[in-house]
Amino acid sequence: MRRNVAIGKVATYTYLCLACVVLLYPLFFMVLGSFVTLDQYHRTKVIPIPNNLSLIEFSNVLEGGLEKALLVTLKRIVWYLTLTLGVSLFGGYVFSRLKFPGKQALFMFFLSGLMIPGILISLPTYMLLARWPLAGGNSITGVGGHGFVNEWPSLFILGMVDIFALFLVKQNYDMLPIEYEEAAIMDGAGLLTIIFRIYVPMLKPVLTAVTVISFVGIWNDYFYPMLLVAGNVELTPIALAVQRLIYSFSTKEGVAMTPFPTLFAAATLMCMPPVLVYLGLQRYFVQGLVGIGLKGA
């Protein structure tokens, strides 16, 4: 029996180590490839090994003018994090603590939206924003102009209610004993006091998990900005701007070979903020998701 257990552990750890190598190899290749010259890259056999940690490729990327795109993305992050945390905090309380007819059916209706792939609603979403009445030269019937396409509202209207975040917070509310709230009510506490002084400190892990997930989603948002604001350079978020920068480097006139080190540097810079946010909030992030597993659906 002990021998079988030992063999099982060896097989498990061997599989995990191989999986880590497979998952981390592209990341190490990308980061190390950012510090090599083009000639060194083309001589690479398994993984690029830089002779020195030159930052010239990162400098080339930063000179590409990403400041406006970064500012647009930061505005979206502040907007959506505020909405997501606020809606999930109060909405989770409503679906967890309050009792009203049709509550369970309404909650399941919201959750059903998670089953629809975003690509399926991309065309209806585009038509909705393009034909928004009295916007972008449209008449009251939504014709004659471009609506909100290539305008600021396209970046801030969609996804104002994050159903997945609402589900996470609601499940964590369910885990908390109702006695905390009853004791606060007996002491004369109001709704806002109960939520922000009683529940928020206990919900810190799941709120942190929601923050990390939302931040990464907004930072990496590429498809809908490309669909809705690609014609307005002033509204380009960071993911779309980096993609355009990579394309410009790849098709630059007079360049005989694709400058892969520069492209790796752009990709590395794109990955750094989400990684740093995750590492900084990792402990609370894991606790927030573990709580969901303990509670169940």
Report pLDDT digits (tens) over 143-197.
899 999 999 999 999 888 899 999 999 999 998 888 989 898 888 888 899 999 9
The fold of 54-295 is MetI-like fold (1.10.3720)
Give the integer Cα–Cα distance in Å for 167 and 27.
32
Query: Given pLDDT bands bounded at 50, 70 and 90, which one contains residue 296?
Result: very low
Q: What are phi and psi of 45, to 5 degrees?
A: -100, -60
Per-chain mean pLDDT for the chain: 87
Closest CA relative to residue 104, chosen from 159, 160, 174 = 174
Contact in structure between 244 and 230 (CB atoms under 8 Å): no
The predicted model scores a pTM of: 0.86
What residue ranges do the domains of the chain occupy? Answer: 54-295
What is the average per-residue pLDDT within 139-144?
90
